[in-house]
Every structure is written in structure tokens, then in C-alpha cells.
Structure 1
Amino acid sequence: MMTAAMLVAGAGAVIALIYQARVNDDVSTLRSVMKTAPVALFSLAALLSGAPWLLALGLALGAVGDFALSRKGEAAFMAGLGSFALAHLAYAVVFVTVEGRLAPFDLTALRWVGFAALVIMAQSTVFWLLPHTGGMKRPVAAYVAIITAMGLAALHLPAAQGVAMLGAGLFVASDLVLSVELFRMEEDSPATRVASHLVWPLYWVGQGLILVGIAWA
């Protein structure tokens, strides 16, 4: 089953790489399928490998969020926000319940750097993000709190799961860039296209590393 799981995850990674060229395409069924498939396949790989069911659920919720954000409109955005919030909560539970394993390296310094970065990011959103979110201020603030909690939970992972810790950091970074793109950039700004091309690899690689770090470390 492990070989099958790796093949499924590999297929997801290939689709993610292909989708990179389509991140700024107009909304279409094909684009939505390609955006949703990678993390959906990661979720299936988690199930095939016997990983914690909450990991598979978190990845599945991420895929739902991907589909929602591939569509247009505030309702789709809110659905995506809610799906990703639930995914972060699932990951947080997984991270704090992973059994410790021996590893030939120490991550103490990285943990402190990560802690400081998360606290600064969360607190600073009061100034650079929330005032620009309009009627979505409360749900966005709640999402910031949830993703910060997920990141802090990841910092408690055993050193042997350092890959998953890195994945969680990339996931947070992708949301950080996405928030700047959505709420601080003009819709027709050339910078939004650059941001989109940055968000996608940060996101799917982060999800893949969480899968690898928890299921296969």
C-alpha cells in the first residue's frame, strides 16, 4: 500500500506542476479540476499509507478549499476560507498528538524563530490586513487566529517530523502572500500575477511536506 500511496502522491505533484502554468487562467471546469486534484490525491495517499485519519481529512478539506477558491464570488471565497480553517484545525490536532521519535538533529533554534515569526505575523495583521478586509474582517481575523494556532502546534512536532514543520511553515507563507494579493493589491496590478505564481508552489509543496512528514517520516 505504501508504494501505491507514493504513486498517488506523485501523480498529485505532477498535476500541481502542470497547473503552475494555469494559475492565472480564467475560471473554467478544467482549471478547477486541476487546482483541486493535487491535494485531493495527497489525501488519498494519506489514507492508503495508513496515516492518521485527521491528516487525510485535513488534506481533503484543503482540496475542497482549492475548488472553492478556483471559482469566483464572495460565497466561494467564504467557503474556501471555512474549508481551510477546518483543515488547519485538523492539522493542529495531528501535530500535537504525533508520538515522539528519535532524530539525529535538534530544532530548538528553528522553533524559537518560528514562534517569533508567527506572533509577529498575527499581531501585525491588525495594522496591514484587517483594516482592508471590509465586511469580511471578522472571519479573516478568526482565520488568522486559527492558522497561527496550527503553526504553533507544528512547532511542537518531534524533530523527526521536521519536514512536516517546514510544510506547515510554507502553508502559512502561502496564506500570507495570498492575503496580500487579495486585500492589498489592485485587481489589475501586474503584481497579482506574480503573487499567484508564488502562492501555488508554497501551498502545494507545503501540503505535500505535511503528508510526507507525518505519514512517511
Structure 2
Amino acid sequence: MTPTVFIALCALSLALLLLGEYQDNRALKWAAKPAASLFFVLAAISAGAFESAYGLWVLAALILCMAGDVLLIPAGEKTFLAGMGAFGAGHAAYIGAFLSGGAALTPLFLAGAAGMSVFAILSLRWLWPHLGTFRGPVAAYTAIIAVMVATSILASPPGGGAPSALVIAGAAGFAVSDLAVARDQFVASGFVNRIWGLPLYYGAQLLLASSV
């Protein structure tokens, strides 16, 4: 099947996931969320992820993020921490992808790195009073997100050279979607976090999957 088919199946699964979140239907969430994540993995494979080092790194990142998605379904601090670890490893794999074609400290990269440093500091300042024992893990996770988005500016996917708007948009969307997860977990839980965070997250992953 073509990437377009898997993108459509991911969108359908996302709609079912949002319904499950709205209804607090655990069975529907357990069915729809892994399915939606599996489809962004399959979208990357069908787009040619096995054909380049960049694609293999992206595929590894998507699989790790899929594991993180599943770990975040249950409610509990241990599974949330495990999910953070899986996503952190996914971000590290994305960094590997973005640097796989070589790297140069361009003015755009330096500007992006400075911008993401500000983003990380402001995010931590907002979350810090609510984190408790999660302060260390969240600080480390925020740092790797900032590095991931900054290095996306250096990415040279097979279809074109750096900077790649597709990759940068995917990386930035992923980072912003994490704010919805953080707000839901640490500040104010509610469906409002999922109604915008989940579409942004899956859209970002599909952009990155399509870049292979």
C-alpha cells in the first residue's frame, strides 16, 4: 500500500482515539492509539524508510515513539516515566537522522538553537512548580526536545537538502504537542489538551515519516 493509504488510516484511527478520549472509553483508546501509531510507522516503511541511513533512523524514532504512545495509555507514574524514556530515545533517534547527512553550524541553525533554548527555559519555568519528583526527568526531556528541533534545521532527507521545511515543521509540531501532554499530566488534566495535542502530534509524526 502507498503512504497515502496509511496516512488516511492514521487519521481514521486518530478520530476514533479522540472519541475514546472524549468518552473515556478505555477499550477504544487501547484499540485506536496503537493503531494510529502503527500507521505512521507503516507510512514511513511504504515511503522507503529502508533505503537510506536517514530513513532507518527515522523509522527507529517512530517505533520508539509508538512504544511511548502505548506506555502513556495507562494512568500511572511508572508507565508515564517509561513512556517519557521511550519518547526521549525517539528524540535521540531523530537527532541521529537529522545529523546523518553531516552538519554545519549555519546562521539558521544557530538562530534555531537559540530559539529552542528560550522555548525550553520558558516551558520549564511554566511547569516547574507542578513537577515535584519529575523535575529531573522533565528537565532532561525538555533539553533533548530542544536539541531535536534545532538539529532538524540541519537535516538532509533523501528527497532534498537542508533546510527541509517538511522536517522542521514535523519536529516543531512534535515539540509543541508535548506541551499538551505536559499540561494534561502536571497542570490541568482534560479533553481540551487532547483535542489539539493529539492531532498535532500525529500530524507531526506523519510529516517526519513522509520525509524519508
TM-score by structure 1 length? 0.81
Comparing 57-66 with 40-49, greater Cα deviation is found at 40-49
Which one of the candidate residues 57, 72, 94 is aligned to 1:69? 72
Query: 2:18, 2:26 → 1: CA distance?
Result: 15
Q: Residues 3 and 44 of structure 2 are in contact (CA less than 8 Å); yes or no, is this contact kept in structure 1?
A: yes
Letter in 1 for 2:182: S
- The CA deviation string for residues 174-201 of structure 1, in whole angstroms up to 9 with x for no partner, is 002321232222x4xxxx3212211101
- TM superposition shift of 1:134: 0.7
Q: Residues 152 and 171 of structure 2 are in contact (CA less than 8 Å); yes or no, is this contact kept in structure 1?
A: yes
Q: Report whether the alignment pairs 1:144 with 2:142.
A: yes
Query: 2:163, 2:119 → 1: CA distance?
Result: 26
Would you say how many aligned residue pairs link Structure 1 and Structure 2?
A: 200
Q: Report whether the alignment pairs 1:164 with 2:167.
A: yes
Query: 1:27, 1:137 → 2: CA distance?
Result: 31
- The CA deviation string for residues 69-95 of structure 1, in whole angstroms up to 9 with x for no partner, is 111111111111111111111111111
Cross-structure match for 1:104: none
Q: Which runs of 5+ in 2 are unaligned?
A: 50-54, 156-160
- TM superposition shift of 1:116: 4.2
Which one of the candidate residues 7, 10, 18 is aligned to 2:5? 7
Query: 1:18, 1:26 → 2: CA distance?
Result: 12
Query: 1:167, 1:45 → 2: CA distance?
Result: 14
Which one of the candidate residues 36, 39, 64 is aligned to 1:38? 36
Q: Report whether the alignment pairs 1:177 with 2:180.
A: yes
Query: 2:19, 2:27 → 1: CA distance?
Result: 16
Which one of the candidate residues 16, 21, 24 is aligned to 1:23? 21
Identity fraction in percent? 29
Cross-structure match for 1:128: 126
- The CA deviation string for residues 33-62 of structure 1, in whole angstroms up to 9 with x for no partner, is 201212212112322332122211111111
Moved over 3 A (4+): 3-6, 111-117
For 1:84-99, list aligned pairs within 5 A. Answer: 84-98=87-101
Q: Residues 43 and 206 of structure 2 are in contact (CA less than 8 Å); yes or no, is this contact kept in structure 1?
A: no
| Distance change in 2, residues 1:98/1:162 (3 Å) | farther
Comparing 155-164 with 201-210, greater Cα deviation is found at 155-164
Q: Residues 113 and 146 of structure 2 are in contact (CA less than 8 Å); yes or no, is this contact kept in structure 1?
A: no
Q: Report whether the alignment pairs 1:57 with 2:60.
A: yes
Comparing 117-126 with 77-86, greater Cα deviation is found at 117-126
Letter in 1 for 2:97: V
- TM superposition shift of 1:99: 7.4
